[in-house]
Chains A and B, each alone.
Chain A
Amino acid sequence: MRTFRLFFLGLVGLLGSLLSTALAQSNLTYELRIGATRDVALLEEFPESFAGEKVNVTLANGGYTTFGTLETPDVLKPLDFFFADLPSPALTAWGDSIYSYTDAEGVTWTVWRTKKEVKNRGQKVFRQNAYTVFETYVQDATSAPARSTAWLGWLCAGLLLIAGIVYAVVLIIQRRREKNLSSVEQEILRRKRLGMRRHYGSQLYLWLLLLVLYAPIALIAVFSFTKSKILGNWTGFSFDLYLNLFTGKADAGLNSAIWYTVVIALIAAVASTILGTLAAIGIHNMRARSRKAVSLLNSVPMINPDIITGISLFLLFVALGVSQGLATVCIAHVVFCTPYVVLSVLPRLSRMNPNTYEAALDLGATPAQALRMVMLPELWPGMLSGFILALTLSVDDFGVTFFTKGSGGLETLSTFIYSDARKGGLTPELRPLFTIILIVMLAVLIYINIRNSKQEEK
């Protein structure tokens, strides 16, 4: 009981701290939306390595403007040329001044020169110059009053307070009513209540957790039914994004990213299933010591975080002088998928009768025939689950792909989303795409669940 009470207290504390953050931010206005920030900290430190690089400042509506090309190591002084290419009116003043112009769609763009403070353990460690582009909604800025967030805090506080009062009243009424009961009856009632409280408390906890986990996903799903370019901006119900997605009207980059993701996942999954199954058969027939060694080798890519796998492969390809592209991404994906295939095939092998393969050979089958007709039928469930695992791992991967895709314009969905998000806005068609994926996964899970429970009944 004390655990739960403590835990409840902790939960209240957590809510309270959230609340106080919300309240502290209550004078925050909403009309400014950060588009993109060009990080120039590196630029200051190693200017020579940036020579020739194009500096893009990205606008929140997905487009971006190239402000100029860095040529000299001396980049700090001539930063004015960032703004030289901007459409008129030109920049009026320096310092923390603002440049702003209104584009054809009536959206005002504001460029701020800001000093950003990168925080480190609460101390200001270094300052960096950053150029931040804000998109200003003219309508919002002028007509709509600044949207305050205090209501959220007050809502939470009010709900908590009401819940507390109701709970206290119920408790008092119960105590009154039970005064005349015998102590045994009181004890029974107390235990019953305790059990109920525990039950509802734990249910509430899980569902709250799920609510938080699913809130961002729900946001994607809900906003897949509106045409707005910016997530969180409701412009009326429409199926346009779905139509765009299926008729290929979506961004060309997105279409090719989907295509590449599928191709890479299929190649990687097929290759790693073949390689992994053969390897599993080999490992299974090894002596204990070498089996241990190979298992250790097998676990290395699984332990390695993807950034390490990605960087190490990147260094390998650099050292070999291989130009990076589709082939290198596929190899990289096979590297981190195969261990999982091996692990899903191995238990199948140990359940198999070891003599059937030998028997097939004795009866005149070639090893290939024996593999195909004797081993495969036994192994395929393991291979299938390995294959599916490899598919999902490959589709979901970001870190490894990021470092091995090269600069030839190859993008998978993950890297596409990343570069999109860095530009400041998501391609809107991503929303319906992932809503569909979520629904399909949900359907598959429900199907598996129903099938399992039916099997249990039998």
Chain B
Amino acid sequence: MNKLVQIFSSRRTWAWPYILFMAMFVILPLILVGVYAFTDIDGHFTIRNFAKFFTHSEAIQTFLYSLMIAVFNTAICLLIGYPAAYIMAQEDFKTPKVMAMLFILPMWINFLLRTVATVELFNMCGLPLGEGALLFGLCYDYLPFMIYPIYNTLQKMDNSLVEAAQDLGANRWTCFWKVIVPLSMPGVYSGIVMVFMPTVSTFAIAELLTHNNIKLFGSLIQDYITTTDLLNYGAVLSLVLLIIIGLTSFFGDHDSKDEEKGGLV
């Protein structure tokens, strides 16, 4: 008993329950995804699931299509979000806080409900549901994730650098491309990561926005993983997604480490 008290009076050990918990419910499950991917239904080692993935044209095509949609969505969010963040970060912009809040407020409404409402809006305007609706809905859901980090970096940017550039004879255009854009890159990177990752793994939204006409990779995984006999194949698909996520987060980590820390802590 005394020893136990001694152990726990060192505060370093207070993180142990958490570490144990995380090992059990984060690390172990991720390992299990790999294990299930490499076993068959009876638990024997097999690579047949992988072989199936590479010959399964629907899965490959859906995967590529989802990647494309995610890239498109990220690009659209960047194109729309950057100017918005830039405008809000201008010194003469009077109500940046209110504006930022207005952009974040919709996120408190359940995203599925917003998606359904978007579908209804399209119906009311007589617009067809399909790829356009999908991109609109995705962009609508993830735009705040793009605006916020960019706005944060732009706002923290040292304005004297811009002034210096102007004093040295740069016009607005040069100043924007040579000073502001490079300085805002950390925010852009983390915005890209924050939009790309949820988009590429999205499910449920796509089927609602397109009335089941377009299937994204996330929905495909969902279909397989919830079907008992096909669980192992679903694990393969999840592993593929996990690899993409890992690659993306490395991309984001590389440049936006300090930014993310500044944003979250």
Contact = CB atoms under 8 A, between A and B. Distances in A.
Question: Secondary structure at chain A's binding surface: helix, strand, loop or mixed?
Answer: helix
A441 B28 contact: no
B264 interface: yes
Contacts of A414: 110, 112
Interface in B89-126: 90, 92-93, 97-99, 101-103, 105-118, 120-121, 123-126
Interface in A418-432: 418, 421-422, 426, 430
B84 to A, nearest CB: 6
A282 B14 contact: yes
A343 B262 CA distance: 11
A315 B36 contact: yes
A445 B57 contact: no
B245 A305 contact: yes
Contacts of B126: 22, 25, 28, 30, 147-149, 152
B164 interface: no
8 nearest A-B pairs in the assembled complex, by CB-CB distance: A282-B15, A149-B126, A279-B18, A312-B29, A216-B117, A282-B14, A305-B201, A202-B87
Contacts of A22: 125-127
A275 B18 contact: yes
B203 to A, nearest CB: 6
A316 to B, nearest CB: 4
Given A392-B108, A421-B115, 5 more contacts: A279-B19, A280-B15, A307-B218, A434-B113, A449-B98
9 contacts: A25-B127, A149-B127, A202-B87, A216-B120, A220-B109, A308-B30, A342-B18, A367-B5, A421-B115
Contact of A449 (B14, B101, B106): B101
B18 to A, nearest CB: 3
Contact of A275 (B21, B202, B221): B21
B227 A42 contact: yes
Contacts, number: 283
Interface residues of A, number: 112
Interface of B: 5, 8-19, 21-23, 25-30, 32-33, 36, 57-58, 61-62, 64-65, 68, 79-80, 83-84, 87-88, 90, 92-93, 97-99, 101-103, 105-118, 120-121, 123-128, 131-132, 140, 143, 172-173, 176, 197-198, 200-204, 207-208, 211-215, 218, 221-223, 225-231, 234-235, 238, 241-242, 245, 249, 264-265
Contacts of A120: 61-62, 65
Given A438-B108, A438-B109, A216 B172 contact: no
A421 B32 contact: no
Contacts of A130: 212
A167 interface: no
B11 A282 contact: yes
Given A22-B126, A232-B123, A308-B241, A319 B113 contact: no
Given A116-B213, A130-B212, A305 B128 contact: no
Interface string A260-293: 0000000000000001101111111110000000
Nearest to A277: B14
A7 interface: yes
